[in-house]
Amino acid sequence: MMTDDGSYGTKGLVTNALKTLIDSGEQYGEVIAIGPLIMMKFVAATTKPYNIKTTVSMNPIMVDGTGMCGCCRLTVGGKTKFACVDGPDFDGHLVDFDEAMARGSLYRPFESTAYDHVCNLFKKEAV
Protein backbone atom coordinates (compact mmCIF):
# COMPACT_ATOMS: atom_id res chain seq x y z
CA MET A 1 0.00 0.00 0.00
CA MET A 2 1.29 3.44 -0.97
CA THR A 3 -0.03 6.94 -0.29
CA ASP A 4 1.41 10.26 -1.39
CA ASP A 5 1.57 11.55 2.19
CA GLY A 6 2.29 8.33 4.09
CA SER A 7 -1.01 8.47 5.97
CA TYR A 8 -1.53 4.81 5.07
CA GLY A 9 1.07 2.28 4.05
CA THR A 10 4.34 3.57 2.65
CA LYS A 11 4.85 7.19 1.67
CA GLY A 12 5.64 7.72 -1.99
CA LEU A 13 4.55 7.06 -5.52
CA VAL A 14 3.44 3.58 -6.51
CA THR A 15 5.69 3.83 -9.58
CA ASN A 16 8.77 4.14 -7.36
CA ALA A 17 7.85 0.95 -5.49
CA LEU A 18 7.02 -0.78 -8.79
CA LYS A 19 10.41 0.11 -10.30
CA THR A 20 12.18 -1.12 -7.17
CA LEU A 21 10.32 -4.44 -7.36
CA ILE A 22 11.07 -4.87 -11.06
CA ASP A 23 14.74 -3.92 -10.65
CA SER A 24 15.15 -6.39 -7.77
CA GLY A 25 15.26 -9.18 -10.34
CA GLU A 26 11.86 -10.65 -9.56
CA GLN A 27 9.97 -11.71 -12.71
CA TYR A 28 6.45 -10.37 -13.23
CA GLY A 29 4.04 -11.67 -15.85
CA GLU A 30 1.50 -8.89 -15.45
CA VAL A 31 0.86 -5.67 -13.57
CA ILE A 32 -2.72 -4.58 -12.90
CA ALA A 33 -3.36 -0.90 -12.18
CA ILE A 34 -6.64 0.45 -10.85
CA GLY A 35 -6.91 4.04 -9.72
CA PRO A 36 -6.46 7.59 -10.94
CA LEU A 37 -5.69 8.01 -14.64
CA ILE A 38 -2.40 9.77 -13.98
CA MET A 39 -1.21 6.88 -11.79
CA MET A 40 -2.22 4.26 -14.36
CA LYS A 41 -0.50 6.25 -17.11
CA PHE A 42 2.81 6.23 -15.25
CA VAL A 43 2.48 2.60 -14.14
CA ALA A 44 2.15 1.67 -17.83
CA ALA A 45 5.10 3.91 -18.68
CA THR A 46 7.16 2.20 -15.96
CA THR A 47 6.40 -1.34 -17.16
CA LYS A 48 6.69 -0.71 -20.90
CA PRO A 49 10.52 -0.79 -21.14
CA TYR A 50 10.44 -4.16 -19.38
CA ASN A 51 7.74 -5.55 -21.69
CA ILE A 52 5.56 -6.45 -18.72
CA LYS A 53 1.91 -6.89 -19.65
CA THR A 54 -0.01 -4.08 -17.94
CA THR A 55 -3.77 -4.09 -17.55
CA VAL A 56 -5.52 -0.89 -16.52
CA SER A 57 -9.10 -0.56 -15.37
CA MET A 58 -10.70 2.48 -16.96
CA ASN A 59 -13.57 4.10 -15.12
CA PRO A 60 -14.75 7.12 -17.12
CA ILE A 61 -18.26 8.56 -16.91
CA MET A 62 -20.70 5.90 -18.14
CA VAL A 63 -24.26 7.01 -18.83
CA ASP A 64 -26.13 4.28 -20.66
CA GLY A 65 -23.87 1.21 -20.47
CA THR A 66 -24.33 0.45 -24.18
CA GLY A 67 -21.75 2.72 -25.80
CA MET A 68 -24.50 4.77 -27.48
CA CYS A 69 -23.92 7.94 -25.46
CA GLY A 70 -20.17 7.95 -26.09
CA CYS A 71 -19.29 9.35 -22.66
CA CYS A 72 -16.90 6.50 -21.94
CA ARG A 73 -15.14 6.67 -25.31
CA LEU A 74 -11.40 5.96 -25.24
CA THR A 75 -8.66 5.54 -27.79
CA VAL A 76 -6.86 2.24 -27.32
CA GLY A 77 -4.22 1.24 -29.83
CA GLY A 78 -5.41 3.99 -32.17
CA LYS A 79 -8.97 2.60 -32.21
CA THR A 80 -12.10 3.93 -30.56
CA LYS A 81 -13.29 1.79 -27.66
CA PHE A 82 -16.07 2.20 -25.12
CA ALA A 83 -15.24 1.33 -21.52
CA CYS A 84 -18.80 0.25 -20.79
CA VAL A 85 -18.93 -2.45 -23.48
CA ASP A 86 -15.30 -3.09 -24.53
CA GLY A 87 -13.78 -2.83 -21.07
CA PRO A 88 -13.33 -1.60 -18.49
CA ASP A 89 -9.97 -3.39 -18.60
CA PHE A 90 -7.50 -2.55 -21.36
CA ASP A 91 -3.83 -2.94 -22.29
CA GLY A 92 -2.25 -0.01 -20.46
CA HIS A 93 0.47 0.34 -23.07
CA LEU A 94 -2.16 1.09 -25.73
CA VAL A 95 -4.47 3.52 -23.88
CA ASP A 96 -4.26 7.19 -24.85
CA PHE A 97 -4.24 8.49 -21.28
CA ASP A 98 -3.79 12.14 -22.26
CA GLU A 99 -7.00 12.01 -24.29
CA ALA A 100 -8.83 10.16 -21.49
CA MET A 101 -7.75 12.78 -18.95
CA ALA A 102 -8.79 15.64 -21.24
CA ARG A 103 -12.19 14.02 -21.86
CA GLY A 104 -12.67 13.41 -18.13
CA SER A 105 -11.99 17.04 -17.31
CA LEU A 106 -14.90 18.11 -19.54
CA TYR A 107 -17.34 16.78 -16.95
CA ARG A 108 -15.79 18.37 -13.85
CA PRO A 109 -17.98 21.51 -13.80
CA PHE A 110 -21.14 19.41 -14.18
CA GLU A 111 -19.99 16.95 -11.49
CA SER A 112 -19.18 19.80 -9.11
CA THR A 113 -22.58 21.43 -9.62
CA ALA A 114 -24.40 18.12 -9.24
CA TYR A 115 -22.41 17.32 -6.09
CA ASP A 116 -23.23 20.70 -4.53
CA HIS A 117 -26.95 20.49 -5.34
CA VAL A 118 -27.73 16.80 -5.09
CA CYS A 119 -25.25 14.99 -2.87
CA ASN A 120 -26.34 15.02 0.76
CA LEU A 121 -23.85 12.44 1.98
CA PHE A 122 -21.54 14.94 3.69
CA LYS A 123 -24.30 17.31 4.79
CA LYS A 124 -25.70 14.89 7.37
CA GLU A 125 -24.40 14.50 10.89
CA ALA A 126 -23.03 11.16 11.92
CA VAL A 127 -25.30 9.44 14.40
Is-above-0.85 flag for pTM? no
Q: Look up the domain containing 38 and give its range.
A: 2-118
Q: Whole-angstrom distance between the N-terminal and C-terminal Cα of the chain?
A: 31
- Count of domains for the chain: 1
Look at residue 111 and tell me whether its pLDDT is greater than 90. no
* Confidence band, pLDDT 50/70/90 cuts, at residue 80: very high
127 in any annotated domain: no
Mean pLDDT of the chain: 89
CB atoms within 10 A of CB 36: 11
113 in any annotated domain: yes
76 in any annotated domain: yes
Q: What is the mean pLDDT of residues 107-112?
A: 74
43 in any annotated domain: yes
DSSP 31-45: EEEES-HHHHHHHHH
More confident residue, 113 or 98: 98
Instruction: Please tell me the total number of residues recorded for the chain in this structure.
Output: 127
Nearest CA-CA partner of 91 in 104, 103, 78: 78
pLDDT in tens, 52-66: 999 999 988 777 888
123 in any annotated domain: no
